[in-house]
């Protein structure tokens, strides 16, 4: 199963006031205790939400999502299935085709070459003029494609896609096909809230989110199914919001695969994140059915571990870059008594460097930060592992369990984002 790591920068720490643009609807009240519902399985209909879908007072225009597909490439083949035009940043037509075909793009000293011909110095757009798809690296995408030269002098591919088709594709990338329809609907609202927050609040210049687990897993048209499209349509335009400082703001709705026995507060992981109720974490253990609820110990030789840390984290951590051969790793701070928050790396001369446990997890490709460390003479063992992902926001396997027990998507969202409100944004 693909994870949404969703590592976001300042975009998820800043709110945009939406006063007047959203009509507050039914508040998502806290559901009855899950222990109660589990004890009365025959009465689970009482745990289901029965409210009508939220309504908005007026539509809010939403632009396309800009998804970073590929970066730091020199060559790229792009297949267009039908008529298209290639334009520059000023929307001037550089090339037109009525039949589609294969485009071979290459980064050259003078700019971007298309089938051997220089078409742009810095940036160009490949825009279908009918119901045409664009294929990049074996994946088919809706919308259009922007190719530009990034700050490193390489090519960057960005898919501009309407928000709702983007959500349908993300659902196929984020959830197994056998999940319950209500879990898919909860995921649709969470994914839409996350990306809309990023679109409203981030200043990333050329793109909003990436196509991989660092944001949300997006596979284009290949990831869309009947189930994902139904969930997207049934929740169309619905997002989670919260009130802060008298303003209504779209929630940066984090989620991960398997929490392992309770989610954690976002600010325990992301420094500077505001303390808001919907992302404070909940003590609910519902994901035991996940194959990632517990994981086998991971063993790293101290030599390989040092090499991996220096490659991934050394450029941004001067103290780490100065360390010699590693002697020990120690959890120096915990989040909720279960997950590591901060890890201290000690070399054989006693010098120390501190890294966040989340950075360590990503650098070493550990399942989660819910682990214990055992220092051996030549190895470091990560043991007692539980969960997969950062453990913030909604637990996907927990949402599936709630859906199986009869909860609808509104109650699932209420459980994992308490105090939030469900609104129709457009």
pLDDT in tens, 74-87: 999 999 999 999 99
User: Is the pLDDT score of 93 beyond 70?
Assistant: yes
Q: How many CA atoms lie within 13 A of 380 on its CB side?
A: 25
Cα separation, 171 vs 175, in Å, equals 6
42-46, 145-149, 229-233, 351-355: least confident range = 42-46
- Domain edges within the chain: 10-61+164-285+391-424, 65-161, 294-386
Average pLDDT value over all residues in the chain: 87
CATH number of this structure's domain 65-161: 2.60.40
Tokens of 256: 């991960």
Specify whether the CB–CB gap between 247 and 17 falls below 8 A.
yes
Mean pLDDT of 107-116: 94
Q: What is residue 224's predicted lDDT score, i.e. its pLDDT?
A: 97
Q: For the chain, first and last CA: distance in Å? A: 31
CA angle 168, 388, 270 (to 5 degrees): 85
Mean pLDDT of 350-361: 96
Percentage with pLDDT > 70 across the chain: 85
Residue 256 — φ and ψ, nearest 5°?
-150, 170
Model pTM score:
0.85
Cα separation, 356 vs 343, in Å, equals 6
Specify whether the CB–CB gap between 16 and 223 falls below 8 A.
no
Convert the pLDDT of each residue in 97-106 to its tens digit.
999 999 999 9
More confident residue, 35 or 106: 106
18-22, 110-114, 120-124, 290-294: least confident range = 18-22
Q: Residue 394 pairs with which residues in a beta bridge?
A: 255
Convert the pLDDT of each residue in 126-175 to its tens digit.
999 988 899 999 899 999 999 999 988 999 999 999 999 999 999 999 99
If pLDDT is split at 50, 70 and 90, which confidence band does 21 have? very low
More confident residue, 401 or 152: 401
Convert the pLDDT of each residue in 229-281 to its tens digit.
999 999 999 999 998 888 889 999 999 999 999 999 999 998 888 899 999 99
95 burial type by CB count under 10 A (0-12 exposed, 13-18 middle, 19+ buried) = middle
If pLDDT is split at 50, 70 and 90, which confidence band does 195 have? very high
């Amino acid at each position: 199963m693909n994870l949404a790591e969703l590592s976001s920068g300042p975009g998820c720490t800043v709110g945009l006031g939406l006063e007047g643009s959203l009509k507050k609807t039914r508040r998502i009240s806290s559901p009855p205790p899950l222990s109660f519902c589990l004890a009365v399985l025959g009465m689970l209909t009482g745990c289901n939400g029965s409210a009508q879908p939220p309504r908005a007072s007026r539509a809010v225009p939403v632009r396309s999502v800009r998804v970073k597909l590929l970066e730091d490439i020199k060559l790229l083949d792009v297949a267009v299935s039908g008529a298209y035009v290639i334009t520059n940043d000023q929307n001037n037509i550089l090339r037109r085709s009525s039949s589609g075909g294969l485009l071979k793009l290459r980064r050259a000293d003078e700019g971007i070459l298309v089938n051997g011909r220089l078409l742009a110095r810095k940036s160009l757009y490949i825009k279908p003029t009918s119901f045409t798809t664009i294929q990049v690296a074996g994946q088919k995408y809706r919308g259009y494609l922007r190719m530009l030269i990034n700050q490193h002098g390489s090519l960057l591919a960005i898919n501009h896609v309407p928000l709702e088709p983007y959500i349908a594709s993300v659902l196929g990338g984020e959830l197994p096909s056998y999940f319950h329809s209500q879990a898919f609907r909860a995921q649709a609202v969470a994914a839409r809230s996350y990306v809309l927050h990023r679109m409203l609040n981030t200043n990333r210049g050329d793109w909003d989110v990436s196509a991989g687990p660092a944001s949300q897993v997006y596979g284009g048209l290949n990831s869309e199914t009947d189930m994902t499209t139904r969930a997207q349509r049934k929740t169309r335009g619905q997002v989670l919001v919260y009130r802060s400082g008298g303003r209504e703001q779209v929630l940066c709705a984090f989620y991960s695969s398997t929490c392992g026995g309770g989610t954690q507060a976002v600010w325990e992981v992301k420094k500077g994140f505001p303390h808001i109720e919907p992302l404070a974490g909940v003590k609910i253990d519902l994901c035991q059915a996940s194959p990632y609820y517990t994981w086998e110990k991971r063993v790293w030789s101290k030599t390989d571990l040092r090499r991996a840390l220096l490659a991934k984290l050394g450029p941004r951590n001067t103290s780490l870059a100065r360390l010699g051969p590693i002697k020990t790793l120690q959890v120096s701070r915990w989040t909720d008594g279960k997950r590591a928050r901060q890890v201290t790396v000690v070399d054989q001369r006693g010098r120390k460097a501190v890294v966040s446990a989340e950075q360590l997890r990503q650098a070493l490709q550990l399942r989660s930060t819910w682990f214990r460390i055992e220092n051996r003479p030549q190895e470091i063992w990560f043991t007692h592992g539980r969960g997969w992902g950062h453990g913030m926001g909604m637990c996907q396997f927990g949402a599936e369990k709630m859906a199986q027990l009869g909860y609808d998507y509104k109650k699932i969202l209420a459980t994992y984002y308490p105090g939030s409100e469900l609104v129709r944004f457009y």
